[in-house]
Amino acid sequence: MSWFRSLIQVSATTARSSARPRISDPFSCTLLSRFSSEPARPSPIHETPAPTPTPTPQPPTFYSGLGPTMPGDKPRVVVLGSGWAGCRLMKGLDTEQYDIVCVSPRNHMVFTPLLASTCVGTLEFRSVAEPIARIQPAISRETGSYFFLSNCIGLDPDKHMVKCETVTDGAEPLKPWKFEIAYDKLVIALGAMPTTFGIQGVHEHAIFLREVSHAQEIRRKLLLNLMLSDVPGVSEEEKSRLLHCVVVGGGPTGVEFSGELSDFIQRDVQERYAHVKNYIHVTLIEANEILSSFDDRLRHYATKQLTKSGVRLVRGIVKDVKDKKIILNDGTEVPYGLLVWSTGVGPSPLVNSLPLTKSPGGRIGVDEWLRVPDVQDVYSIGDCSGFVESTGKPTLPALAQVAERQGKYLANLLNKIGKAGGGRANAAREYKYEEPFVYKHLGSMATLGRYKALVDLRQSKAGKGVSMAGFFSWFVWRSAYLTRVISWRNRFYVAINWLTTFNIWLSNDGVTQDGLAV
């Protein structure tokens, strides 16, 4: 009877297999098809192509996406990017009037002014990252609002359509999904990318400081080099190389990171890595003057403080970047164990490729109301945008306060347009734009470490105003940024981190025990 029972089990298994639908990729036909008004189409990746002797490359196939809004739907605002400009815009948009769709390769906003502090443990990473769903809850609650972890790869302004490609990751990434999103209003807030000036080896060997992942990589490599340098048998020369931290770029980011790193060396390394404490040092390389936007008095003060804290200042231009050394234009070779690149930003390849008017410098051109000329319902804000020459306005600096102010202005403008009945595609042609965007510079700040900072409240480099340096400036710097952190949750995290490290420093006569951990 055992063979009879086995026969029954095999028959039942076969019946269940034949009754169950066979779907090799359950997402390709259902996941994105629910976002479209068109019926779902089978995924083209499962079609068997006809045999041809010489296969010809085919254009990318797009899956169903979000089709045009229907008369009963709310107008749709598509936001490309999740930086300062895009997130401030989404926060201010009236969700009673608009559906919001955000397309970005990251699902959070980074509070960049405090990012350098996370590299050495002064702040935790979660303190500087704010989820987009917390900034604008409608994205996760409203039926017509979405966040897509994707990259924009193209734009068709005539059809009011954005082409996107889903971001994938992993050892065996999925074939990227390509889909389209129709918009009533489009806001391009793609930010900018670090400039390398065409120097070979920068992308391969240097670390930028613009994302949380960059700070994590700096923190990991710094700790790894500290521990590797303590391994028996490592030569004196190799120890010096491993523990040589080189920062290229003397702007606020480079100076603040150098200051944070020097604090870490003086407080933590001296106490916890005593065997190699005499080998670790920091070099800041700048082609001109550090902190060129600040006045001369503040720059001299910064130079004095950085030198006093052990940072070596070198004036030079990087010519080439190798695996373990950089070469300056005068032939000097500088070995390094950690290389951080912070030489400013410029337009990304995507911004350069978009079929839109450009401003001087290659940014997306906008008028006084942040509209992109010659196309309907397209706006641009943040580091990727700049005024066209016909406005007579200079290109604004790539600062967080500029992006935030533009996001706030455009959110109010789109809310007014929506209330006037111009929220739909091509419905704002007759709308009368009144107050243009006006930027007023609130000043610049930079921390130098050792509880010292610079505060420059002048309207411009040649203008007059308040400028100060020292401990009180450091207190103003921390107070100002604490109030600018978006959520009360992260303000609490930042305040607790600062209070903890400050108290520990006082209780240990200036030497913290907080440090970093693997």
What are the C-alpha distances in Å from 139 to residues 131, 191, 286, 407, 463?
Answer: 11, 21, 43, 17, 43
Q: What confidence score (pLDDT) does residue 37 get?
A: 39
The residues with which 129 forms a beta bridge, in sequence order, are 110
Judged by DSSP in three states, 434 sits in coil
Of the candidates 155, 179, 83, the one whose C-alpha atom is nearest the C-alpha of residue 398 is 83
Is the pLDDT assigned to residue 133 strictly greater than 80?
yes
Q: What confidence score (pLDDT) does residue 61 get?
A: 65
Contact 154, 163 (CB under 8 A): yes
Is the pLDDT assigned to residue 171 strictly greater than 80?
no
- What are the extents of the domains in the chain? 65-192+347-420, 207-346+442-504
Q: What confidence score (pLDDT) does residue 170 get?
A: 61
The pLDDT tens digits for 319-344 are 999 999 999 999 999 999 999 999 98
Kindly compute the dihedral angle of the four CA atoms of residues 408, 447, 117, 202, in this order, to the nearest 10 degrees: 90
The pLDDT tens digits for 82-120 are 999 999 999 999 999 999 999 999 999 999 999 999 999
* DSSP type of residue 200: T
Which amino acid belongs to residue 492?
F
Report pTM. Answer: 0.84
CA 491 to chain CA centroid, nearest Å: 20
Of the candidates 511, 514, 490, 489, the one whose C-alpha atom is nearest the C-alpha of residue 500 is 514
Q: What confidence score (pLDDT) does residue 16 get?
A: 40
Selected from 2.60.120.460, 3.40.50.620, 3.40.80.10, 3.50.50.100, the CATH number assigned to the domain covering 65-192+347-420 reads 3.50.50.100
Is the pLDDT assigned to residue 31 strictly greater than 80?
no
Is the pLDDT assigned to residue 147 strictly greater than 80?
yes
Q: Report the CATH number of the 207-346+442-504 domain.
A: 3.50.50.100
User: Edge to edge, what strands does the sheet with 185-188 contain?
Assistant: 63-66, 178-182, 161-166, 146-156, 99-104, 76-80, 185-188, 378-380
Q: What confidence score (pLDDT) does residue 510 get?
A: 44
Contact 100, 171 (CB under 8 A): no
Is the pLDDT assigned to residue 507 strictly greater than 80?
no
Question: pLDDT band at residue 8, thresholds of 50, 70 and 90?
Answer: very low
Same fold, 65-192+347-420 and 207-346+442-504: yes
Cα(355)–Cα(397) distance, integer angstroms:
23
Contact 427, 74 (CB under 8 A): no
**What are 123's two structure tokens?**
């702040």
Most confident segment among 2-6, 342-346, 511-515: 342-346
Judged by DSSP in three states, 155 sits in strand
Residue environment code for 431-449, b if the CB has 16+ CB neighbours within 10 A, otherwise e: eeeeeebebebeebbbbbb
Q: What confidence score (pLDDT) does residue 498 get?
A: 87
Q: What confidence score (pLDDT) does residue 269 get?
A: 86
pLDDT above 70: percentage of residues in the chain: 83
Element (H, E) at 455: strand 452-456
Most confident segment among 15-24, 50-59, 381-390, 503-512: 381-390
Most confident segment among 56-70, 131-145, 446-460: 131-145
Segment among 167-176, 221-230, 432-441 with least mean pLDDT:
167-176
CA 176 to chain CA centroid, nearest Å: 22
